[in-house]
Structures are given as structure tokens and as C-alpha cells.
Amino acid sequence: MIEVQDLTKRYGRHLAVDRVSFKVAQGEVVGFLGPNGAGKSTTMNILTGYLSATDGEVFIDDTNILEEPERVKQRIGYLPETPPLYPEMTVREYLRFVCRIKQVPKNEIDDRIEQGLHKVGIVEVYNRLVGNLSKGYRQRVGLAQALMGNPDILVLDEPTSGLDPKQIIEIRDLIRDLGSDHTVILSSHILPEVNEICKRVMIINEGRIAKDGDLATITNDLADASQVVVTARADEQATRDALKGVVGITRVDLMQSAEKDATEVLVLSEKNSDVRAEIASAFASKSVPLIGLRVKNATLEEIFLQLTSGVQEVAS
């Protein structure tokens, strides 16, 4: 459905996107995950035809977007990072304008707007000026805009940014719903969000795809049990003593404990080892009350650290 080959974008000397290639099949919901400035928005801007690539090509169903831009653009709905809204128009006027530039046939415009309003839940602000809407509503009007042309591909750049938790859940549900009959590419810098909506994740860093695949596999790969957080109802010395006998531990670091009268330490062991069982029995044998034992989840930052230090290995 979407095929990107060796996409490169250079801003002067700065390399924003560096030879990115991927394919997205029909009906897939793909998340671009990456820190700010990783090249997510630039890639999306090229996919939608807003920017041109310095090098490389984008095909939508084997049609190069540069060769038949009008035909391809009709099939893509795009919600950019900043929703492209005209503050002086009402929601109704705005959506009507969008329908017209998306070449929606005149007799279908009213139905299309009606459906869009219900889908994204903005019926109640239908006649208000876009400029007076809250951030959450604006984001939703932006989303309605992307749906107006009845596209089969949706490109959503940080669709939940700036929303409150309730709205985030609503938008996520909506996107998941849209994913059933659209091909969706969305971007985010929040790991759990992508986790919720997308099956497939592309981690982008410094303009390159650092990892592409199933999210569960990616996190499992990275979060091995070599980092364990241990919480004990004891002072630091007793905790360290209890850990002393366990074979394979390389380092013990004191952490800030969330609980009173408890010590929390981060235990590092040899790579790909799992010392949790040994830790539990060590504490039991020394009668130090162990109240918590968990594998430290890799945060997005850590995933990036790991990925960027091992880009060569991943790329192969």
C-alpha cells in the first residue's frame, strides 16, 4: 500500500531523515515512535506531499507521489502536528471548505460533514468559531478535517498531544476504530500510547529507523531481567548484606524509595541473567522482609539509549 524507498531529507547541512525505507500493508496501524526532532514529522510531511524529499521515493499503491500528486493526495488524510485551522471560520464553514478543496462531490458534502462531526464528537461546537475552541476540540476538528476526503490512508502526527487524559482515551478509541477500515500511520513520543493503538512500531531516532516490528517483541528484546528493582523492609546495610550472597550480581545501586521504612535498590546482574529467584531465597534465608521484586521496565529513553548505542547491530 505504502512503500518508502531510501527516503532522505536534508535541511541545509542538517540531515533530518536518513535513507529511511519501509512498507506498510493495507489495513495496518503503524506507530512512529521517537523523541522530538527524530524525523517523524518530516517523514510524514514527505509522505503526504507537503515537502519533497532530497532523495528517495514514496509510492502509494505503486504510484509515485511526485508523478500524480493530485490523485495520490486524494487518498491521504493528514493531521499535521499543528492542526491546520482557520480561526476566523466556524467549524461548519471550515469543514465545508476542506470538503471543497478535497474535491468531495457537492451533493455529498453535507452527509460527509454530518458523519465527521459525529465520528470525532464535535457536534456541539458545530457553529462556533474555530479560534474560540479549546485545544482538545481543535485537535478533533483537525481530525475531522483529515477524514473529510474519505481517504483510505490516515497520517496523524501526534494526534493526542495537548489533550487531557479523558480526551486522550477518546481519541485513542477513535483511532483504533478508524484502524479497522483505514491504513493508519501515527506518530508519538509516548511509548504506552503507541502500545495501546498500534501493533507495529517503528522507532525513529536521528532520522533513521532504529527498530521496526511488533511492539511486544521490541520491549521484550530490550527489557531482559538483568536489571531488577528490589524493595525490602530494612535499612540499606541489611539489604546490601542480604544481596551479598547472590551469585551473578555486578552492582547494587540505592534508589529513592516510594515507601516509608523501606529500602529500594537497583540490582544489576550479568547480561541475560535472571537472579530474581536467588534474590528471593537469599532474603528469606536471612529473614530480611522482601516486599518488592520486579524487572525494571525499559522506558522510552532507555530503549533509545540501547538502540542508539547498537544501531549497527539492529540495522543488519
DSSP 8-state class, residue 125: G
Residue 43 touching other proteins (CB under 8 A): no
Q: Which is nearer to other proteins, 60 or 290 (CB)?
A: 60
Query: Cβ 19 to other proteins, closest distance in Å?
Result: 18
Q: Which is nearer to other proteins, 49 or 56 (CB)?
A: 49
- Which residue from 33, 38, 40, 102 is in contact with other proteins, where contact means CB under 8 A? 102
- Cell digits of residue 132: 474560540
Residue 51 touching other proteins (CB under 8 A): yes
Query: Cβ 227 to other proteins, closest distance in Å?
Result: 42
Residue 187 touching other proteins (CB under 8 A): no
> Per-residue x/- mask for other proteins, residues 106 to 145, rule CB under 8 A?
---------------------------------------x
- Cell digits of residue 84: 491546520
Residue 266 touching other proteins (CB under 8 A): no
What Cα–Cα distance (Å) separates residue 2 from each residue in 8, 62, 144? 16, 8, 22
What number of other Cβ atoms are within 10 A of residue 98's Cβ? 25
Q: Which is nearer to other proteins, 45 or 263 (CB)?
A: 45
Q: 35 and 205 in contact (C-beta within 8 Å)? A: yes
Q: Which residues, in sequence order, are bridge partners of residue 183?
A: 153
At residue 180, the 3 state secondary structure works out as coil
Residues 149-168 that bind other proteins (CB under 8 A): 149
Polymer length in residues for the chain: 316
> In which residue are the cell numbers 489533550 written?
163
- Which residue from 5, 63, 74, 161 is in contact with other proteins, where contact means CB under 8 A? 74
Residues 6 or more apart whose CB falls under 8 angstroms from that of 23 comprise 1, 2, 3, 4
Query: Cβ 236 to other proteins, closest distance in Å?
Result: 53
What Cα–Cα distance (Å) separates residue 246 from each residue in 267, 279, 287? 11, 6, 15
- Which residue from 21, 26, 64, 103 is in contact with other proteins, where contact means CB under 8 A? 103
Size of residue set near other proteins by CB under 8 A: 34
Strands (E), 149-192: 153-157, 183-188
Q: Which is nearer to other proteins, 101 or 258 (CB)?
A: 101
Residues 76-95 that bind other proteins (CB under 8 A): 76, 78, 80-82, 84-89, 93
Q: Give the separation between CA 76 and CA 60, rounded to whole angstroms.
A: 9
**Residues of the shown chain interacting with other proteins in the complex, contacts defined by CB under 8 A:** 11-12, 45, 48-52, 54, 69-71, 73-74, 76, 78, 80-82, 84-89, 93, 97-98, 100-103, 145, 149
